Amino acid sequence: MDFVTQLLIAAITAGTPLLLATLGGILNERAGIIQLGAEGLMLMGAVTTCIVFIRTENLGAALLASVGVTAALGLVHAFLSITLRANQTMSGLAMTLFGSGFSAYLGKSISGNPLPGMLPRLHLDFLKPVPVIGDIFGNLDVLTWFSFVLVIVLHLLIHRTSWGLHLRAVGDSPATADVMGVHVRLIRYGYVTVGAMLIGLAGADMVLTVAPTWNEGLTAGRGWIAVGLVIFARWNPVRALLCAYFFGALDSLGFRMQLLGSAIPPYFLKMIPYVVTILVLMYLGYRNRNKPSGTPESLGVPYIREQRF
Amino acid sequence: MPWRLEFDSSRIRTPWWTPIVSVALALVLCAIFIYANGMNPVTVYSKMIKGAFGTSYGITETLVKAIPLLLCGLGIAVAYRISVWNIGAEGQLIVGAIAATAVTIYFPNLSGFWSILLMLIFGVAAGALWGLLTAIPKTHFGVNELITSLMLNYVALLALDYVTFGPWKDPQGFNMPGSPVFTDAQSLPVLGATRLHIGLIFALVAVVIYYLMIRFTRWGYELRLIGANPNAARYAGIHINRHIIIVMLISGGLAGLAGMAEVSGVSHKLMQGISPGYGYTAIIVAWLAKLNPLGLVVTSVLFGGLIVGGFSVQTIGLPSSISEMLQGAILFFLIAGDMVTRFRIRRGA
């Protein structure tokens, strides 16, 4: 395999958790709720997966548990921001703080222990003879395939179905949606919970692919990069896929240059994804300075039924 | 329905007791987790309290931890006044510590006064610059400051790794990462035989200045105006962007000062883990204090105690991250409490 093919595979591997978390964020924000707790949710998803997987040696149970725990945390965020109309920024920050502390507390006993397995891979032998495609798609794990399907499903859901119309209406103009007879709160609760589950799955994916073990704070800001990716992707699932792989590539490029014995110290290579996140956001902000940003119009604004506009 | 919950939007001020109730509920929630984990929560909490406030050593250690919390919390509070969500205090503290250490590396033979003064200037300037890197993308490119300031935390952390493993590594350090140990001329004066350093005075002076500036100057008035109603402030001709840049410079500068005080007053060398998450804890410190200066002093001592108490439970086999968990839970109940008290139960449909 040549360097580019290897880099593409690495980009998909490193990009899949980013993609899952970004899709979760898109669902949250399309429904009008900011989700800044992604980092904490990913950590909770990851630590739950590790604990249950080590205890039961059952991958399915581990994934279910991690999705269940993050769904519960998502409900907390939904309750605070939808029912109590609390500050969504602060609620997300609290989620991240609690998630990093609680995951470290829970994971203390299994820290560094190897997991009993990794994600199963789909060996598509019929693709093997095809040069580049075979190398890339012949040996991907099941969550990566799931993320491909999810991108298509979410794209169709958001842009081609009446459910998607309701979702967009709830995020852009909840008052109008309410008048149309759409149950604003119920839909918001639903998407915030499902979004949190996807972010939790992103954490599970991180520990089940490359280095199958728990380490405190192992997401290292990936959750926050996903929060940025939601903006790059302009709340669109297909663009989310491209953006996530771009960052996956950046992430693994640094690692690969290190392996190749680059003269640049590894610390600077590791800074690349963070610095590029800021630079791309600045570029997008500059380019779109006179255009509507594509942000759901009621993002972050609690909907209060008594106030009609 | 005979009973109804009603949201009363006229209640803006929350009662004084919500922070206290929030802390209590967070303690109960964490007690449940501790109990479920097979430990006795009463033992754990009493161990934490004893560790933090039970001995004179514990008390001075708590105050040592309160200094960076107070400085960072103050900076965060200034920015939050106009709804600039700086969560980059951690990175701003780290670059402050790096810049102060640069003085000791490049000007090793200065006298005590000039050395400390230069370290102060470098630390504050580096923190302020790091704050500016968050402010400019926000004001000129419309980039959300939460993402920028957090990304910069990771960049600062990697820069710290680079200098401590790389060019500044102490040749006499037995191959451990970290800068050479500071000389006496490069260290802040301490109180007697304790580790409590003069940074406490810096922090208290900063609190008084903050209070006076907010309360009695035109600048403070404009900040309060923007905080109360940004649109009205804009129509009144206040340059909001300029204020965003100023508050981020102050916010970063105070965190940079905290970083300088940490290296020069506590660790006496630049090393890994120079901050056990002071920048993040300071966010809660500022919120719990409701941005009030006196409240900031109280909450930073409380959270300093929480950090010291967190360390002291390690002796009974618990991780110190238990204090982080408590902090997150406190913040959850705090934001919930702010809103819950605005609901009223009404009888009738």
Using a CB–CB cutoff of 8 Å, tell me whether B159 touches chain A: yes
Nearest CA in chain B to A108: B319
Check if the beta carbon of residue A45 is closer than 8 Å to that of residue A106: no
Chain A nearest-CA distance from B107, in A, is 25
Per DSSP, B179 falls in state P
Using a CB–CB cutoff of 8 Å, tell me whether B321 touches chain A: yes
Cα gap A123→A137, rounded to integer Å: 9
pLDDT of residue B316: 79
Q: Give the helix ranges, DSSP H, for chain A.
A: 3-30, 38-56, 59-78, 88-107, 131-137, 142-160, 162-172, 174-179, 184-209, 222-232, 237-259, 266-287
Q: Do A101 and B325 touch (CB under 8 A)?
A: yes
Higher pLDDT, B77 or A139: B77
Q: Give the helix ranges, DSSP H, for B2-144.
A: 18-36, 41-49, 56-81, 89-106, 112-141
Using a CB–CB cutoff of 8 Å, tell me whether B26 touches chain A: no
pLDDT above 60 (res B349)? no
pLDDT above 50 (res B152)? yes
Question: Lowest mean pLDDT: which of B120-129, B137-146, B247-256?
Answer: B137-146
Which of A84, A275, A304 is facing B336, going by the closest CB pair?
A: A84
Phi first, then psi: what are they for A204, rounded to 5°?
A: -60, -45
Query: What mean pLDDT comes out for the span B218-238?
Result: 88
Please report which confidence band the pLDDT of residue B10 belongs to, taking 50, 70 and 90 as the band edges. low
Using a CB–CB cutoff of 8 Å, tell me whether B142 touches chain A: yes
Using a CB–CB cutoff of 8 Å, tell me whether B152 touches chain A: yes
Q: Do A289 and B158 touch (CB under 8 A)?
A: no
- Nearest-5° Cα angle at A28, A25 to A34: 85
Chain A nearest-CA distance from B274, in A, is 17
Cα gap A46→A219, rounded to integer Å: 9
What does pLDDT average to over chain B? Answer: 88
Nearest CA in chain A to B152: A274
Q: How far is CA B154 from the centre of its chain?
A: 16
Name the β-bridge partners of A52: none
- Give the model confidence (pLDDT) of B301-338 as tens digits: 999 998 898 888 888 777 777 788 888 888 888 888 87
Cβ-Cβ contacts under 8 Å for A150 (sequence gap 6 or more):
A20, A23, A198, A237
Cα gap B258→B228, rounded to integer Å: 29
As given in the structure block, the two tokens for residue B338 are 């702010």
- List, as ranges, residues 200-259 from B with C-beta within 8 Å of A: none
Nearest CA in chain B to A228: B147
Which of B85, B328, B340 is facing A97, going by the closest CB pair?
A: B328
As given in the structure block, the two tokens for residue B305 are 């105690």
- Which residues of B are less than 8 Å from A80 in CB distance? 332, 335-336, 339
Check if the beta carbon of residue A207 is closer than 8 Å to that of residue A50: yes
Per DSSP, B345 falls in state E
Check if the beta carbon of residue B255 is closer than 8 Å to that of residue B75: yes
Q: How many beta-carbon contacts under 8 Å exist across A and B?
A: 143
Q: Where are the domains of chain A?
A: 16-115+142-233
The single-letter code of the amino acid at B67 is I
Q: Do A281 and B144 touch (CB under 8 A)?
A: yes
ipTM at complex level: 0.87
As given in the structure block, the two tokens for residue A194 are 């499902």
- Which residues of A are less than 8 Å from B22 in CB distance? none
- Give the model confidence (pLDDT) of B33-59 as tens digits: 888 878 888 988 898 899 888 888 899
Q: Do A286 and B141 touch (CB under 8 A)?
A: yes
Check if the beta carbon of residue A256 is closer than 8 Å to that of residue A269: no
Higher pLDDT, B152 or B110: B152
The single-letter code of the amino acid at B242 is R
pLDDT of residue A136: 82
Per DSSP, A19 falls in state H
pLDDT of residue B11: 61
Using a CB–CB cutoff of 8 Å, tell me whether B5 touches chain A: no
Which of A40, A220, A289 is facing B142, going by the closest CB pair?
A: A289
Name the β-bridge partners of A139: A123
Length, in residues, of chain B: 349
* Secondary structure class of B38 (helix, strand, coil): coil
Cα gap A42→A60, rounded to integer Å: 18
Phi first, then psi: what are they for B63, rounded to 5°?
A: -65, -40
Name the stretches of chain A with pLDDT < 50.
307-309
Cα gap B101→B119, rounded to integer Å: 7
Please report which confidence band the pLDDT of residue B200 belongs to, taking 50, 70 and 90 as the band edges. very high
Length, in residues, of chain A: 309
As given in the structure block, the two tokens for residue B148 are 């920028």
- Give the model confidence (pLDDT) of A43-97 as tens digits: 999 999 999 999 998 999 999 999 999 999 999 999 999 988 888 888 898 898 8
As given in the structure block, the two tokens for residue A157 are 């859901």
Best B22, B30, B143, B284 residue to mutate vs chain A (most A CBs within 10 Å): B143
Q: Do A278 and B323 touch (CB under 8 A)?
A: no
Please report which confidence band the pLDDT of residue B94 belongs to, taking 50, 70 and 90 as the band edges. very high
* Closest to B187 in 3D by CA, of B122, B279, B130, B116: B116
Check if the beta carbon of residue A260 is closer than 8 Å to that of residue A27: no
Residue matched to tokens 């598509």? A124
Q: What region, left, alpha or beta, does residue B178 occupy, with left being phi > 0 and alpha being psi -120 to 50 degrees?
A: left
Phi first, then psi: what are they for A148, rounded to 5°?
A: -60, -50
**Type and span of the H or E element at B7:** strand B3-7
pLDDT of residue B6: 66
- List, as ranges, residues 79-108 from B with C-beta within 8 Å of A: 85, 87
- Which residues of A are less than 8 Å from B338 in CB distance? 86-87
pLDDT of residue B76: 94
Nearest CA in chain B to A269: B158
Cβ-Cβ contacts under 8 Å for B251 (sequence gap 6 or more):
B75, B76, B78, B79, B84, B86, B89, B92, B131
Phi first, then psi: what are they for B7, rounded to 5°?
A: -85, 125
pLDDT of residue A255: 75
A182 burial class (0-12, 13-18, 19+ CB within 10 angstroms)? middle
Cβ-Cβ contacts under 8 Å for B164 (sequence gap 6 or more):
B177, B178, B179, B270, B271, B272
Q: Do B335 and A87 touch (CB under 8 A)?
A: yes
As given in the structure block, the two tokens for residue B214 are 């907010």
Check if the beta carbon of residue A253 is closer than 8 Å to that of residue A7: yes
Handedness of CA A185, A188, A193, A194 (dihedral sign): positive
Residue matched to tokens 């754990």? B44
Cα gap A198→B332, rounded to integer Å: 22
